[in-house]
Structure 1
Amino acid sequence: MFQLIQRGQTYADQSGWPVVIHSTTSQIVRYWRQGRINTASIDRFNQNFEHLDHHEAAQIRAELETSEHIKSLRAMRAA
């Protein structure tokens, strides 16, 4: 299926992390992942990334926040 890749859209990478499109050209895609801009070729991006709607992206972000909160609580308990 053909789909335009546009700035601001949310995708999931192979690890399941949400990424936000920063910019695109005819050959590369630049995207935000964990506060950094990364680059992928169009072919690699089409193979390894999955488009997310707003609800899916929000759910993934909530799960990641919960996971990070649990990690910080465990670290505080161990200290």
Structure 2
Amino acid sequence: MASPLSVSVVSADQQVWTGEATMVVARTVEGQIGILAGHEPMLAILAEGEVRVTLADGSKVVAEAADGFLSVDNDIVTIVARQAALV
């Protein structure tokens, strides 16, 4: 089994969700992106839309996010948005 991703979704005023995941899917200004363990380091600007986090048991955590960025480095995914909330 691959190493899990460490994921944090934060808004301007709160930590929305943090935990381990097997995959993250988010919408950037350049299109939708999927992130798995071992992904190349990157920084992207978020477009308004869903951030879907898939957990090891197959369940999903879904958040709406807008106006922010997504960072990936060493299996750590950080999503910082002006507005973000679980749906």
Q: Same fold (TM over 0.5)?
A: no
As a proportion of its length, which structure holds more strand? 2
TM-score normalized by structure 1?
A: 0.31
User: Radius of gyration: which is bigger?
Assistant: 1
Using CA pairs under 8 Å that are at least 6 residues apart, name the structure with larger relative contact order, 1 or 2.
2
TM-score normalized by structure 2?
A: 0.29
